[in-house]
Amino acid sequence: MYPENLFYTKDHEWLRLEGEEAVVGITDFAQKQLGDIIYVDLPQVGKTLEAHQTLGSVESVKSVSDIYSPVSGEVIEVNSELAQTPDLINRDPYGQGWLVRLKIKDKDELNNLMKAAEYEKYLEGLEH
Amino acid sequence: MSYIPISEKDRKEMLERIGVGSIEELFCCIPENIRLKELLNLPGPLSEPEVLQYFQEKGEKNLYGQYLSFLGGGAYDHFIPAVVDYLSSRGEFVTPYTPYQPEVSQGTLQVIFEFQTLICQLTGLDIANASLYDGATGAAEAVLMASRVKGGRRLLVASNLNPEYRQVIYTYTRNLDLEVVEIPYDRSGRIDRAGLEAALNSQTSVLLCQSPNYFGVVEDLKSLGEIAHAHQAMLAVVISEPLSLGLLEAPGKLGADIVTGEAQSFGLPLSFGGPYLGFMACRKEFVRQMPGRIAGQTVDAEGRRGFVLTLSTREQHIRREKATSNICTNQAHCALRATIYLETLGRQGLKKLAWINLQKAAYALEKLTSIPGVKRKFTGPVFNEFVLEFPAEWETISRKLEERGILGGLSLGKFYPGLDNCALITVTEKHSREKIDHFARVLEEVLR
Amino acid sequence: MINVIREPLIFEISSPGKTAFRLPPLDVPENPRALEGLPLREDIDGFPEVSETEVTRHFTRLSQMNYCVDFGFYPLGSCTMKYNPKINEKVASLGSLIDIHPLAPESLVQGNLELMKTLERLLCEITGMDAVTLQPAAGAHGELTGMMLIRAYHQAHGNPRKYVLIPDSAHGTNPSSAHICGYVVKEIKSNERGTISLEELEKEMTEEVAALMVTNPNTLGVFESDICRIADIVHAKGGFVYMDGANLNALAGITRPGDMKVDVLHLNLHKTFSTPHGGGGPGSGPVAVKKILEPYLPVPVIEEKDGRYYLNYNRPQSIGRVKSFYGHFQVMLKALAYILTLGPAGLREMTEIAVLNSNYIRKSLEGIYHLKYDAPTLHECVFSDKYQKEFGITNLDICKRLLDYGLHPPTMSFPLIVHGALMIEPTETESRRDLDLFIEAMKAIDREARENPELLRTAPHITYVRRLDEVQAARNPVLRWEKK
């Protein structure tokens, strides 16, 4: 449920490192908490973000959740499929449900993120 | 009389079940020092006949009904078909809450859906909301919406927009980082082109104008839209006499991005100013910035059509301080009346009623301007209201007319320096030829 | 309710040439020049054409799909769905009061001005405040107005300040209204009783805070017993206490916000004072203030001199207008009729029985439904679905199943501090029989949750439509009918 090759945040975003770039999405836990996603608000390509800055938001019928950028960087691509089929996030959160691709500014920031095992432990803590 | 169906015996038994000795004990959480020691100093209780008599006596102090009135300017006296009162008085429409449980609120929801459709058809836009408080707050919501869409802090507002609407816009925008700029009007009574061009800049989010405007003059929306759009600003149009849409081209077809306004004309009594009915429609792409409730169509578990409140993530109960507006209620019951009214008149009825209003106003305009000294103030085309200029201050003439049983029109001098000799005169289907002729006769007498 | 007939949209039964209303013929000579220069439309595309019979049946059938207070118990928490007396409707339809243009000369509308002034005075007495504006259109509009008054005061004294403190149990309109007034919202966490923590408040209350917005009793139905100390803490730093008066049905005639050191509050005439909700409006949200905020009230203000009433527009410190004209006059008439009918003893009894009824339900359902906060409650109580969740049943399922029992469900999932909330406000106008019907239904539903949870998950079963697909409605919005 939580792929080993990804980094995770406490706000339930994941990050996949691809060279100097990062693909960002929300975790399976997050999509389950939200339920059926009906709308995704994503940033403009070219926007620069600080780590923890609001990157966009996802909406279900009765809730809105802000998404925060796990690291600092520039938005170089957004998942335009989500405009028509936001439920890709529910169906395939780590694949077709990705949100944005960032050009990473400082790779050291990755050290602030959790690995899969840590994240799972963190989730266990939340459930109690 | 408190409308309480709990008997003394019930009270005793209920207190026993709760496990307290008296009702008093249930209020133990309220500190003694702030509890009232005596009953409030209020009148009553009154019996039902006494209540009725009380209000009837106050009604007798209102002398308005004895006058022949040509007042309009945002509140219009139109005939209300009997079905509107009859059907809207049903308890099933009067006494439910907001349709939060759609399975037992399909009546209210379908009415809202039909209302939204009617507003779209009239305005020529893609979507409409379930209603807003009134035309003035609708105008304020429209400029706030435009600034969310466009991001610029400059808002252009026509000076011939209803003065009360302008006041509400100032109240709403005062505490936000927004700048309201008023655009002058020209000799035709329309927005002054040069003034508009000069005011537009890259920070401009919107041009908000009214048509027919506060002088009753119909604006050239098409060219206003072109000018606004050339500067990447939106065109928002306020309609305060929506009956005009029975005859005039839909603003959405002329370039308006948002149309908002007051629909009191559609089956709501004058009611001394409220409750009225704000409405708002816009282009599809702006739906997420639209304030207020929206009903949408869906299916139930068995695949049958049904309606729900939808896109509610825009609203305060979910998004809290980030909501598109703090509005919570709509004017559901007023929207119901408007829906019944419009469906009763229908396509032919609305057109014809609009035409009757136009013709009567044209007759009155001709009749009144044939009186020596009375001139039409603005050259632009009008619907059922127009501004006349008199040889003396309108306040003085108005008082003389009042002494003769006529409320001749609204004074403009209060809001527009230089228009002290002018009045806004409104004519509807309720003004018979006889009444108009009488007005003309008395006016001539007063001016002589 | 008649479930057999599926009522189409009016547009689907429209046919060309029909009309439900006949207009009188034009009695002035037709003037073809009247149309000159006007941008005329060809048609109103898709506009309906039906007969009067069809209109009447359409709306009668639609009405029958609605649940309403006239039909049965409607325990929506914080909404005060009490009975709406019929005499009030009659009063509010008197032609001598309502067939009046709002801009008529003051001398011709003395009766109406007197009625409004009287309502203002009675509301001052009930709330213990000094002045009232009747202009705001609804509760949220009242909040906005109240916060604008506070901002205007601070502004006039040199600094509008930056923050507004709001407890996490507050209604969503509170933060939204504060935001539109240009304030940054700081949320205050509730303590274990579900009320405002004094320590937390002391910590957050600085000279940068414009006001605290407090609902009392709060959305759990719990009275903020420390309200006077809360006010002292806020006042000590020069801030104001704004009270959301949504829950005045728990206080009227017993205690007064003015005596609790509240500076400004809004009332909901459509809650406490029995004006009907109309399917979601119109409401009316008068704002009451202490003397210190009076100069800032919206214009016009109604004034009396020697028995004559005037509208005063000359108020240089006023925040301006918040809507057209004077507010929802017809709604004011209904509220005034209600207060006069009840009288002082009746108003007190109203509150007493509202609190009795709520505590009766609370006691009857305690142990069967989970009560997160056990502090004493006044006019409403908030249970949760915690016990039923063990069987996979949520508050949504419980509410939908109540519909099958012919009852309206409580408010769901609010306040946000109680997960799976069921917020119940019975009001004083329910008979013991109706209260017991609800209690028995809630008990039966709890049994069903254990024995036959599927029955709840697929509820409702007997309504005009079954559970509706809200996901589809939001993902592919269809917001109007369109001609095929």
Q: How far is B203 from chain C (nearest CA, A)?
A: 20
Helix (H, G, I), strand (E, B) or coil at B134: coil
Chain B: list its partners (3+ Cβ pairs within 8 Å): A, C
Q: Which helix (H) or strand (E) holds B154?
A: strand B154-158
> Which of B71, B87, B103, B127 to substitute to test the interface with C, most C CBs within 10 Å?
B103
- List the structure tokens of C164: 């507004």
pLDDT score recorded for residue C3: 54
Sequence ranges of the domains in chain B: 64-79+347-447, 82-340
Chain A residues inside the 8 Å CB shell of C474: 38-39, 59, 61
* Length of chain A as a residue count: 128
pLDDT score recorded for residue C414: 84
**B313 vs A: CB within 8 A:** yes
Residue-wise pLDDT for C12-67, tens only, equals 999 998 989 999 999 999 999 999 999 999 999 999 999 999 999 999 999 999 99
Average pLDDT over residues B131-157: 96
Dist CA B42 CA C119 (whole Å): 11
Q: Looking at this protein, which amino acid is placed at residue A73?
A: G
Nearest partner of B68 among B440, B389, B446, B402, judged by Cα: B402
Cβ neighbours, 10 Å, residue C30 = 10
Give whole-number Cα distances, B306 to B106, B410, C463, C469, in Å: 7, 46, 12, 9
pLDDT score recorded for residue A60: 87
> Which of C47, C113, C351 to substitute to test the interface with B, most B CBs within 10 Å?
C47
C175:B316 CB<8 A: yes
Same fold, B64-79+347-447 and B82-340: no
Looking at chain A, which residue has its C-alpha nearest residue B311?
A61
Residue-wise pLDDT for B343-356, tens only, equals 999 999 999 999 99
Q: How far is C363 from chain B (nearest CA, A)?
A: 6
Chain A: list its partners (3+ Cβ pairs within 8 Å): B, C
Residue-wise pLDDT for C212-251, tens only, equals 999 999 999 999 999 999 999 999 999 999 999 999 999 9
**C474 vs A: CB within 8 A:** yes
Q: Can you list the domains of chain C with their CATH numbers?
A: 87-341 (3.40.640.10), 343-471 (3.90.1150.10)
Tell the CATH topology of B82-340. Aspartate Aminotransferase; domain 2 (3.40.640)
- Whose structure tokens read 């005037």? C310
Q: How confident is the model at residue B194 (pLDDT cuts 50, 70, 90)?
A: very high
- Chain C neighbours among B 291-330 (CB < 8 Å)? 293-302, 304, 306-308, 310-311, 313, 315-323, 325-330
pLDDT score recorded for residue C171: 87
Looking at chain B, which residue has its C-alpha nearest residue C98?
B271
> Which of C101, C106, C113, C470 to substitute to test the interface with B, most B CBs within 10 Å?
C101
- List the structure tokens of B435: 């009444």
**B298 vs A: CB within 8 A:** no
CA B196 to chain centre: 26
Percent of chain B's residues with pLDDT above 70: 99
Residue-wise pLDDT for C158-201, tens only, equals 999 999 999 988 888 899 899 989 999 999 988 988 899 999 99
- List the structure tokens of B360: 């009567």
B318:A64 CB<8 A: yes
**A41 vs C: CB within 8 A:** no
C413:A87 CB<8 A: no
In the sheet that holds B422-426, the strands lie side by side as: B375-376, B385-389, B422-426, B410-411
In total, the C-beta contacts within 8 angstroms joining chain A to chain C are 14
Q: How confident is the model at residue B251 (pLDDT cuts 50, 70, 90)?
A: very high
CATH number for the domain running over B64-79+347-447: 3.90.1150.10
Residue-wise pLDDT for A44-57, tens only, equals 999 999 999 999 99
**B332 vs C: CB within 8 A:** yes
Residue-wise pLDDT for A73-119, tens only, equals 999 999 999 988 999 999 999 999 999 999 999 999 999 999 999 99
Residue B140 vs residue A126, higher pLDDT: B140
- List the structure tokens of B111: 């009415």
Q: How far is A83 from chain C (nearest CA, A)?
A: 10
Contact assessment for residue C175 and residue C205, using Cβ atoms and an 8 Å cutoff: no
Indicate if the pLDDT at residue C131 is higher than 80. Answer: yes
**B254 vs C: CB within 8 A:** yes
pLDDT score recorded for residue B321: 67
Indicate if the pLDDT at residue C4 is higher than 70. Answer: no
Q: How far is C474 from chain A (nearest CA, A)?
A: 6
Contact assessment for residue A40 and residue A58, using Cβ atoms and an 8 Å cutoff: yes
Residue-wise pLDDT for C440-451, tens only, equals 999 999 999 999
Q: How far is C322 from chain A (nearest CA, A)?
A: 30
Tell the CATH topology of A7-107. OB fold (Dihydrolipoamide Acetyltransferase, E2P) (2.40.50)
Q: How confident is the model at residue A127 (pLDDT cuts 50, 70, 90)?
A: low
Sequence ranges of the domains in chain A: 7-107
The ipTM is: 0.97
In total, the C-beta contacts within 8 angstroms joining chain B to chain C are 672
Average pLDDT over residues C71-79: 95
Indicate if the pLDDT at residue C1 is higher than 70. Answer: no
Average pLDDT over residues A21-45: 92
Residue-wise pLDDT for B210-239, tens only, equals 999 999 999 999 999 999 999 999 999 999
Alpha helices, DSSP H only, in B124-179? 135-150, 163-173
- List the structure tokens of C401: 């199943």
Q: How confident is the model at residue A63 (pLDDT cuts 50, 70, 90)?
A: confident
Residue C197 vs residue B327, higher pLDDT: C197
Give the closest of B55, B176, B297 to C337, CB-based: B55
- Whose structure tokens read 């020092």? B33
Helix (H, G, I), strand (E, B) or coil at A27: coil
Q: How far is C49 from chain B (nearest CA, A)?
A: 5
- List the structure tokens of B359: 């013709």
Residue-wise pLDDT for B85-115, tens only, equals 999 999 999 999 999 999 999 999 999 999 9
Indicate if the pLDDT at residue C2 is higher than 60. Answer: no
Indicate if the pLDDT at residue C156 is higher than 70. Answer: yes
**A38 vs C: CB within 8 A:** yes
Q: How confident is the model at residue A125 (pLDDT cuts 50, 70, 90)?
A: confident
Give the closest of B288, B318, B322 to A63, CB-based: B318
Give the closest of B274, B276, B304 to C465, CB-based: B304
ω into A93 cis (within 30 of 0): no
* Burial of B87 per CB tally in 10 Å (0-12, 13-18, 19+): buried
* Length of chain B as a residue count: 448
C325:B273 CB<8 A: yes
pLDDT score recorded for residue B69: 98
Q: How far is A75 from chain B (nearest CA, A)?
A: 21
Give whole-number Cα distances, A114 to A33, A111, C110, C359, in Å: 20, 8, 72, 49
Average pLDDT over residues B394-399: 97
**C103 vs A: CB within 8 A:** no
Chain B residues inside the 8 Å CB shell of A39: 288, 313
C475:A86 CB<8 A: yes
Percent of chain C's residues with pLDDT above 90: 92
- Identify the sign of the CA torsion B34, C232, B175, C315: positive
Indicate if the pLDDT at residue C86 is higher than 70. Answer: yes
pLDDT score recorded for residue C291: 98
Residue-wise pLDDT for C428-439, tens only, equals 999 999 999 999
**B288 vs A: CB within 8 A:** yes
pLDDT score recorded for residue B358: 98
Dist CA C267 CA C336 (whole Å): 13
A62:B319 CB<8 A: no
